[in-house]
Amino acid sequence: MTRTIAIISDCDNTLMPDAPSLLLKDNGFEPQDFWDEIDIQVKQKWDPPIAWMTNLVTLIQEGKIKQNTNAKLAAFGASLDVFPGADTFVDEINAEFDVNVEGYVVSSGIESLMKGTSLSKSFTDIFGGSLYEKNGVIAGIKSSITFTEKTKFVFAINKGITSNIREEPYNVNNFVEESQRRVPFENMIYLGDGPSDIPCFSMIEKHGGSCIAINSKDVWTKKWEFELRSRKMNPLKPDYTKGSELRTELESIISEII
């Protein structure tokens, strides 16, 4: 039986530039002003994804963002560029190795927008926060993915229940013998770019998997840099093309697994 390896990745600033910021910019907003306001709300005990998604929905309801349906968000996603090779490397690795590599996006971003990008061509599934519509317009938050919520989807991949995790979320708690799990943790590679990925880093590393830190920015927070040093992780640039440092690292890990 062909062994299955899962490459699990954050999206914004890991596989592509920050899509919510690009959405704001496309509608005439200065993204930094928006995120500064979110920082204030977080200090007021808001959960970060709930805070920014709530503010985004408010702007949509006020008619200030023209992508006011999930279909329009997906269409906007289709207009965005991903980082070099991000939408092809999974297929290329599958062709290169005698192994079944599956790509999964687990992100706090907007699922409909991310699914509209070229990432959908090669990634098995994309999990993100979702928005519901009422009277033909986005009206509120249906679901959000926060820091530790990401680990729920990692367990769903581990147990092989991703196909119904949205409709039956409690199934992730079902006991499955380690030997019966579809993708063992040691067959997982997790890629992330910031503090929200730390719970997944910790869990996957603890269970024998591999993690890669991505640095797509010129400036990182001191807290993130400290976390990486503590984990002895060297950040890599988000270039997924053949021959790049990141791609070479991915191929090296896969070679060790198989």
Q: What residues are paired with 127 via a beta bridge? A: 106
Determine, yes or no, domain membership for 33: no
* Reported confidence tier of residue 226, pLDDT bands at 50, 70, 90: low
Domain that holds residue 105: 4-16+74-130+141-257
* Reported confidence tier of residue 228, pLDDT bands at 50, 70, 90: low
pLDDT, tens only, 4-15: 999 999 999 999
| Structural domain count of the chain | 1
d(CA 146, CA 48): 8
User: How confident is the model at residue 196, as a pLDDT?
Assistant: 81
DSSP, residue by residue, 181-208: -SS-GGGEEEEE-SGGGHHHHHHHHHTT
Determine, yes or no, domain membership for 117: yes
* Reported confidence tier of residue 102, pLDDT bands at 50, 70, 90: very high
Determine, yes or no, domain membership for 30: no
> Mean pLDDT, to the nearest integer, of 192-218?
86
* Reported confidence tier of residue 233, pLDDT bands at 50, 70, 90: low
Determine, yes or no, domain membership for 54: no
| Least confident stretch, 77-91, 160-174, 221-235 | 221-235
0.85 exceeded by pTM? yes
d(CA 77, CA 119): 10
> Mean pLDDT, to the nearest integer, of 120-125?
96
The CATH number of the domain holding residue 192 is 3.40.50.1000
Determine, yes or no, domain membership for 229: yes
Q: Is there a contact between 14 and 87 (Cβ–Cβ < 8 Å)? A: no
User: How confident is the model at residue 2, as a pLDDT?
Assistant: 56
> Mean pLDDT, to the nearest integer, of 105-113?
97
Determine, yes or no, domain membership for 240: yes
> Is pLDDT above 90 for 114?
yes
User: How confident is the model at residue 1, as a pLDDT?
Assistant: 45
> Is pLDDT above 60 for 219?
no
- Which tokens is 135 given? 């009277």
Determine, yes or no, domain membership for 194: yes
* Reported confidence tier of residue 134, pLDDT bands at 50, 70, 90: very high
pLDDT, tens only, 51-101: 999 999 999 999 999 999 999 999 999 999 999 999 999 999 999 998 899
> Is pLDDT above 80 for 221?
no
**What is the chain's mean pLDDT, rounded?**
92
Determine, yes or no, domain membership for 193: yes
